[in-house]
Structure 1
Amino acid sequence: MQLMSREAFAGRANETFDVSLGESSLPMTLVEVQALTPHAFPGMSRAPFSLVFRSGSPVVLPQKTYRLTNATMGPVDLFLVPVGRDVQGILYQAVFN
């Protein structure tokens, strides 16, 4: 299993990720890739970061691990948490620390 990094997602901002929902999928757009303040400790293997995705669907998905597929990156499994709503849709965040 490869450790995910902020750099791997930085070039994917504004790209679509399809969230697998069993027999169907839901497109989400990666709208933010943000570095978080590191709290260094021995053995730390990556700098913390977060990703924010936006879904245009009015349906709020529950927080859980989803398989997202991007045309460039392929499939990735991410734990998504709904964190807000704006005029364009529902926002979901994945945090890596």
Structure 2
Amino acid sequence: MAETADLAALAIGDFSPHLDVVFDMQTPAGVVPLKLAKVDPAGDSGRAGGAFSLIFVAPKGPWLGQGIYPVQHPALGTMEIFLVPVGPAFGGNSYQAIFT
């Protein structure tokens, strides 16, 4: 398993190459596949490289509440990401993460 990622060190360029790739979100009910559907810059911030937004899409089904979830990717490691449900999109349940 990959190491835990330092969220402060991650930049938009770390995620852009993984567009349309599946990440694994750990939930109390088990693993939920999340496809990275959108990567957008979100303006200037105190973060090196600026703020950015990610949209992940889970299969249709019960919604998970907003919260911090462990999300794993082989190249990026395990990330504890705050995900917010933002509605149906891209054929599934979409969740947003904003890095500022």
TM-score range, shorter chain: 0.7 to 0.9
**Which structure is larger by alpha-carbon Rg, 1 or 2?**
1
Q: Which amino acid aligns with 2:55?
A: V
Extract structure 1 runs of 4+ deviating beyond 2 A: none
**Runs of 5+ consecutive residues of structure 2 not aligned to the other structure:** 1-5
**Match for residue 45 of structure 1 among 44, 47, 55:** 47
**TM-score of the two chains, using structure 1 as the length reference:** 0.86
**TM-score of the two chains, using structure 2 as the length reference:** 0.83
Find out whether 1:90 has 2:88 as its counterpart. no
**Runs of 5+ consecutive residues of structure 1 not aligned to the other structure:** none
Q: Compare the two structures and name the one with the higher helix fraction.
A: 2
Tell me the percent identity: 27
- Two-structure CA RMSD over aligned residues (Å): 1.6
Higher RCO (C-alpha under 8 Å, 6+ residues apart): 2
**CA offsets 1:31-78 (integer angstroms, 9 cap, x no match):** 01100122x5xxx23201000000113111100000011122221110
Count of aligned residue pairs for this structure pair: 93
Structure 1 residue matching 2:14: 3-state secondary structure: helix
